Structure 1
Amino acid sequence: MESNSTKIAKIATKMAICNRNEEDELKRFYNEQGIKVTAANMGGNINSSISKILESALVAAKRNGLIREEHLHEGAVIGATRDAIIQISTRANGLNVGGKIGIARGGEHISVCIFLSIGLLHLDEVVIGIGHRSLPV
C-alpha cells in the first residue's frame, strides 16, 4: 500500500511535468479529492535564480491555499524547495534552465518538485528534484 507522503510526492511531480492545460484539469481533479496543488514556471541561470525559485514556490503555495501565512508553514515550503534545489544544483550549476515547480499538499504532507530542462549548446538535459515536509493540519 502506498503511503500518503509517496502519493503527494507523485502528485507534485505530475504538477511539475504537466502543461498549462493539464495543470488546470489536475487542479480541479485533485481539489475534488481534498488535495491542493499548484505550479509555477521558472527559468534563468540556476546560480542566480535560487532565491527566485524559493520565492516562487512560497508565493504559489500561499496564493493557492496550500499553506497558511505562518512561520511553520512557510518554513516547510522553503525547506522542501531547498531539498529539491540541492538535488538539481550539481547538474545545472552555472547553466541556463527552464522548467516548473510543482507543489502538492494533502493533509499533513507537502511536496515540492522541480523539473528542469538544462540548455547545453544544442543538447537539452533534464533534471528533477523533490522535497517533502510534514505539517500540522
Structure 2
Amino acid sequence: MTNKSTDVAKAAVKMAISSRDEEDYYISNFKKKDIMCTAVDIGGNIMASIPKIIERSLVAAKRSNIISDCHVHEGAIAGAAREAITQVSSKAIGLNVGGKIGIARSGEHVSVCIFMSIGLLHLNEVVIGLGHRSIPIIK
C-alpha cells in the first residue's frame, strides 16, 4: 500500500494528540496501513527544551524502528522536529510547555508533529506544529 505524505502527516498528528491509552490502538491500526508510528512526552521551558525535544524524537524513532541508525535518517527526523518546533516556539518563548511528539513514517515520507499546552498561571494556550521530510529507503 502506498501512502501519501498527507496520510503520514495525519498519522503523526493523531499520535501527538492521542492519550497514552490510545497510542497502542493507533500504532496497530496504522501498522495495518503500512504506516509506522510512535509518540513521546515532552515538557519544560521551550527554549531550554529544544535540544531535548530533538533528542527525544530521534530516540523514539530509532526505538520504534521508524528510522535506521544512519545520519540521513537521523537528519530527516531532526529536521522535521526542528521545523515543528519553529512553528510553535514563538508562542511559547519564556514559558513552560507540556505535550507530546508524534512521529510517523511510510516509505520515503516521515512526519513529526508537536502538540503542546503552553502554561501561564491558569491560562493555557494550545499549539501544534508539523514537519515533513522525504528520506531514501535503505534496504
Q: Same fold by TM-score, threshold 0.5 exceeded? A: yes
Runs of 4+ in 1 over 3 A off after TM superposition: none
Letter in 2 for 1:34: D
* 1:29 matched residue in structure 2: 29
Cα RMSD for the two superposed structures = 0.8
Tell me how many residue pairs correspond in the alignment. 135
1:79 aligns with 2:40: no
Q: How many Å apart are 1:136 and its aligned residue?
A: 1.1
* 1:62 matched residue in structure 2: 62
Deviations 1:7-63 (A, max 9, x none): 111110000000011101001111122110000000000011001000000000000
Letter in 2 for 1:65: N
TM-score (ref. length: structure 1):
0.96
Alignment of 1:1-137 (within 5 A): 4-137=4-137
Secondary structure of 1:48's counterpart equals helix
Unaligned runs of 5+ in 1: none
Secondary structure of 2:74's counterpart equals helix
Q: How many Å apart are 1:121 and its aligned residue?
A: 1.5
The 2-side partners of 1:28 and 1:91 are apart by 34
TM-score (ref. length: structure 2):
0.95
Deviations 1:71-121 (A, max 9, x none): 100000000000000000100111000000000001110000000000011
The 2-side partners of 1:18 and 1:126 are apart by 14
The 1-side partners of 2:89 and 2:29 are apart by 32
Between the aligned residues of both structures, percent identity stands at 61
Secondary structure of 2:51's counterpart equals helix
